[in-house]
Copies of this chain bind each other. A is one copy, B any other.
Amino acid sequence: MTPPGFTGSTLDRADAIRSDPAAIAALAADPGARLLDLAAYEPVATDAGRLGWAAMPGQDDTAFLGFVDGAPCFVAIPSPAPAARRTATLFPILDRLVPEDAATYAAARSLADWHARHHHCANCGQPTAPFRAGWGRRCDACRTEHFPRTDPVVIMLAEIGEGEDARVLVGRQPAFPKGRYSALAGFVEVGESIEEAVRRELHEEAGVPTGAVRYVASQPWPFASSLMIACIAAAENEAITLDTTELEAAMWVTRADVRAALDGAPDAPFIAPPPYAIANTLFRRWVAGA
């Protein structure tokens, strides 16, 4: 089974070293140290499909990513934040990377982007500075410590029926490419479990009541820094009441429909989400019996 996109990084994060500034300085000065300089957050792909790294000397503002193949790896902290949040050229570059390097890029991008957008203390407003080798920022004025944010998002299929008769709910947002449908999704809010967030979102966006929820897979999504949590929820009935501020259409599809969509069949009733998205993984796992 293909693992979800942006997973499988070979990065050894070496957490224990982060709190040792002298060790980090020595690693940064190591001739074998590598730097990822994400101009506009875009990576460079080599002809061999590997992430392009630069040499370190002279680079000041960096975060320590960890070790890749034994080499200490850093990412440059952009200041101010690059304007481009997600360029049209990004996914063609990612498609040329081996999966483990795309995953390393995802971690570096989320970390660099968090720094770029968090130069001040949310508690008191004063400027903050990186600490813990770039895995946090500290306010010298009020002593508050801030840590990179990871936002959990549930992405789910409501399912009705069993075996080959089973159908799942897919929806489309107005911004999707023509014909594209995907799983419904939304941020997990404070004070709710994964299962409660799944049921709330299916109820809010499609009016579909659901009961038991089963977990399927997860992935990091670096736009900006989500943790995607893919689930399947048992629907209690199939009437759809669409929240048109979120979705422009929703429908129930069969396993045959989803297989056709994943195969890119010309008569498929919808176009599947691309392989990097965990919705693609979720569809693949569901047709395989998840």
Contacts and interface: CB of A to CB of B under 8 A. Distances in A.
A289 interface: no
Interface in A45-89: none
Contact of A220 (B149, B192, B245): B192
Given A125-B125, A147-B187, A7 B193 contact: yes
Of the listed residues A6, A121, A194, the one surrounded by the most CB atoms of chain B closer than 10 A to its CB is A194
Given A124-B120, A215-B215, A227 B194 contact: yes
Given A13-B200, A121-B122, A194-B218, A188 B7 contact: no
Interface string A186-217: 01111111111000100010000000000101
Contact of A118 (B122, B126, B187, B219): B122
Interface in A144-160: 144, 146-152
Nearest to A4: B193
A285 interface: no
A16 to B, nearest CB: 7
Contact of A16 (B135, B188, B243): B243
A235 interface: no
Interface residues of A, number: 60
Contacts of A151: 149-150
A277 to B, nearest CB: 14
A114 interface: yes
Contacts of A227: 152, 188, 193-194
A109 B190 CA distance: 9
Given A215-B215, A218-B195, A245-B16, A190 B123 contact: no
Contacts of A135: 189
Given A118-B123, A122-B122, A126-B125, A191 B215 contact: no
A192 B106 CA distance: 9
A111 B191 contact: yes
A261 interface: no
Nearest to A116: B123
A9 interface: yes
Nearest to A107: B191
Given A15-B204, A120-B120, A218-B195, A190 B243 contact: no
A127 interface: yes
